[in-house]
Structure 1
């Protein structure tokens, strides 16, 4: 997923590089970090995005709500003079798995299994049902 990351240059040798990821504010989270050295900025930005994405999942939000793409935040955050668009693979993060029992008709279950068997982007029946439910909820 693409994230816009604001970078604030240190004012002197005793302050750190500031990092902000405004996309999380849409869900009511603040996502900030700091790096002591310029070389650490990208690593720290990716680290804080992954940490916050885990928190978002744990709180029951859908990661797709963070997918804002390219947004120009310069006027909203003038102290952050540099902006990076970085790709962070948050889609692979998943919350703690929980087993549930569901009831489906045998014909529907057979269709699901056949579909999963033919479409290898799904690991198994559970993966298909989870992704189908997520897509349905995103469309509403």
Structure 2
């Protein structure tokens, strides 16, 4: 069913058509608190990738290459680059999901906010979670951004 809503927006009265069913559906989701979810801190813009490639520090092992650039404020962010050379889209997305999960679990241990870009090598696409996590942590420790565990 279609209706007309009159509301004040920036000091002006506006009339907008809307669907009653859609309005009720959106109100239900607002009550459940789904609007409070935060976006995953990732690097998506090509210009940001290029800037970090050019000005960032680099470390590598047989599975991953890490490019690192420190930030002045905000949260740490991650970007993953997995080319078609390592496999089809299923393989590329699996590695991306695994790296993002490893980042999510360990980002509280970073000493300062930074942008991380991981380039997946061909051997890295064949590895399991534990091996990728070990590579991730080794590269972050080599860059000095991961605080050591306190025993």
Do these two structures clear the TM 0.5 threshold for a shared fold by scoring above it?
no
Normalised by the length of structure 1, the TM-score is: 0.25
Normalised by the length of structure 2, the TM-score is: 0.23
Q: Which has the larger radius of gyration?
A: 2
Higher relative contact order (CA 8 A, sep 6+): 1
Query: Of Structure 1 and Structure 2, which has the larger fraction of its residues in strand?
Result: 2
